[in-house]
Amino acid sequence: MKYNKYIDHTLLRADASTKEIIKLCQEAKEYDFASVCVNPDYVKLCKNQLKNTNVKVCTVIGFPLGSNTTSIKVKETTDAIANGAQEIDMVVNISWLKEHKLKEVINEIKSIKKACKKHILKVIVETSLLNQADKINASKCVLSGGADFIKTSTGFSIGGATVEDIKLFKKYVKNNAKIKASGGIKTYPEMLAMIKAGANRIGTSRGISLMQGK
């Protein structure tokens, strides 16, 4: 089985240079990854680097805290798509989720999904900050909001993806949404375990080493 199309080849460091982003795109083309995932200011560059390829441009919205207002997240999304983004990874408002303001969470997801138009929306729920009930609620909100994916983590909080969380999400979203495992996936066996548990996409800055580990 080919695992390259599971990988969102990611570089979201604040100090990522133009040279590094160009290298990221070159690697993504070489390995034919699903996408590159970059901060919004690099979307145009990646679009140009990846033209005439099957590698998509993914960017992040409300990153990494999720605490921007909905109107700002919608504007970010509209701007990113105008610049060439094909996939949007938004950070949910985590305090809303934890305070059971689920209607607000769902409405925000719906607003951003509308701004995405035909493009894929992934909702980052930052599992390391959630208890099990929160994770179940997050799954339900993602489905109610019409998002395409639920995503575990930003990679910038206190923890990342776990097999247990992937299994939990799979139980509740079933085949009605896909799952992206992201944060702390360092080895080929870890990647395989996530996929076996139900992950459809792997967000990682270690795409090359994971492929070489095969």
Residues recognised as catalytic: 89, 151, 180
Per the document, the length of the chain is 214
CA pair distance 84, 79, nearest whole angstrom: 9
3-class DSSP assignment, residue 204? strand
Give dist(CA 200, CA 137) in Å, integer: 20
Tokens standing for residue 157: 């909080």
> What is residue 36's three-state secondary structure?
strand
Distance, CA of 118 to chain centre: 17
SS3 content of the chain, % helix, strand, coil (to 5): 50, 15, 35
d(CA 106, CA 152): 17
